C-alpha cells in the first residue's frame, strides 16, 4: 500500500555512504527529505544529487536534512559519489542509502511494477519531526526534480503548521497568504494585525505573519 499523507513514515536500519543509521535516530527531530533514484550512475540523478549537496545550507536553515536512496550496494554508491563530486563540482554532504535488498524501497512503495520490478521510481517524501508523511511526489525518469519547489513546500508546511493560513498558487516565502476559512472575518484583525484583504467572503489574504 502506498504511504498516504499524515501516515507515519516507516523506520528502518540501513547502510549509507555516511555509515549505518537508524532512520528515526538519524532524523534527530528535524524535517526530512527522502528521495529515491532508479540506480547508480544515472545522468539525471547525478545532477540532482549534486544540486542537493549545493543546497545544504538552504535545508539547514529550514531545520531539514536530506537523504537519498538507490537499490545498488554501498561499493557502487561510493564510486558514484566520486563521479557526482567530479562532474557537479560539489562535495557530497548527505548520505545515500544502500538498499540492495529493496527493504526500504518496498516499505515506502518506491517500486512500481508497471514501471520496473527491479528499480525504484523517482519518489520524494517530506517527513516532519513527528515522522509523519507530509508530501509525496513521483517524477518521470526524463524530468529532473525541482529542488526550489521542495524548499518552497518546506516553507509552506512550516508556516501553516504554526498559523491559521494556507499558501496560494505560486506562493514564495515572504508573500501574502490566505486566511483559513475557519476564521471569521471579524476575528481576522486580532489574529493578523498586519491587516487583510477580503477578495471574496471565502478568500481573504494577509501578509505572511512570521515576516
* Residue-wise pLDDT tens digits, 124-154: 999 999 999 999 999 988 899 999 999 999 9
Active-site residue (options: 3, 32, 33, 45): 45
Determine phi and psi for 69, rounding to 5 degrees: -145, 140
pLDDT above 90: residue 172: yes
pLDDT above 90: residue 120: no
pLDDT at 10: 97
The tens digit of pLDDT for each residue in 19-52 reads 999 999 999 999 999 999 988 999 999 999 999 9
45 is annotated as an active-site residue: yes
Bridge-based pairing state of the strands 31-37 and 64-70? parallel
Owner of C-alpha cell 501574502 = 176
How many CB atoms lie under 10 A from the CB of residue 43?
9
pLDDT above 60: residue 118: no
Select from 105, 95, 82 the least CA-distant residue to 52.
Answer: 95
Domains of the chain as residue ranges with CATH? 13-145 (3.40.30.10), 163-206 (3.30.1020.10)
Say whether 172 sits in a helix, a strand or coil. Answer: coil
pLDDT at 116: 54
C-alpha cell at 33: 527529505
Amino acid at each position: 500500500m502506498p504511504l498516504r499523507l499524515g501516515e507515519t513514515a516507516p523506520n528502518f536500519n540501513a547502510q549509507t555512504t555516511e555509515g549505518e543509521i537508524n532512520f528515526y535516530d538519524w532524523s534527530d527531530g528535524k524535517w526530512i527529505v527522502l528521495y529515491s533514484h532508479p540506480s547508480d550512475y544515472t545522468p539525471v540523478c547525478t545532477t540532482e544529487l549534486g544540486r542537493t549537496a549545493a543546497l545544504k545550507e538552504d535545508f539547514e536553515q529550514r531545520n531539514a536534512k536530506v537523504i537519498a536512496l538507490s537499490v545498488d550496494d554501498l561499493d557502487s554508491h561510493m564510486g558514484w559519489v566520486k563521479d557526482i563530486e567530479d562532474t557537479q563540482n560539489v562535495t557530497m554532504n548527505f548520505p545515500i542509502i544502500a538498499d540492495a535488498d529493496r527493504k526500504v524501497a518496498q516499505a515506502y512503495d518506491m517500486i512500481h511494477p508497471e514501471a520496473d520490478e527491479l528499480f525504484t521510481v523517482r519518489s520524494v517524501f517530506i517527513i516532519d519531526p513527528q515522522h509523519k508523511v507530509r508530501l509525496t511526489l513521483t517524477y518521470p525518469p526524463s524530468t529532473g526534480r525541482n529542488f526550489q519547489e521542495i524548499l518552497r513546500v518546506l516553507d509552506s508546511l512550516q508556516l501553516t503548521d504554526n498559523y491559521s493560513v494556507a499558501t496560494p498558487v505560486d506562493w514564495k516565502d515572504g508573500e501574502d497568504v490566505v486566511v483559513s476559512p475557519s476564521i471569521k472575518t471579524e476575528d481576522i484583525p486580532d489574529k493578523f494585525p498586519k491587516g487583510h484583504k477580503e477578495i471574496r467572503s471565502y478568500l481573504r489574504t494577509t501578509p505572511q505573519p512570521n515576516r
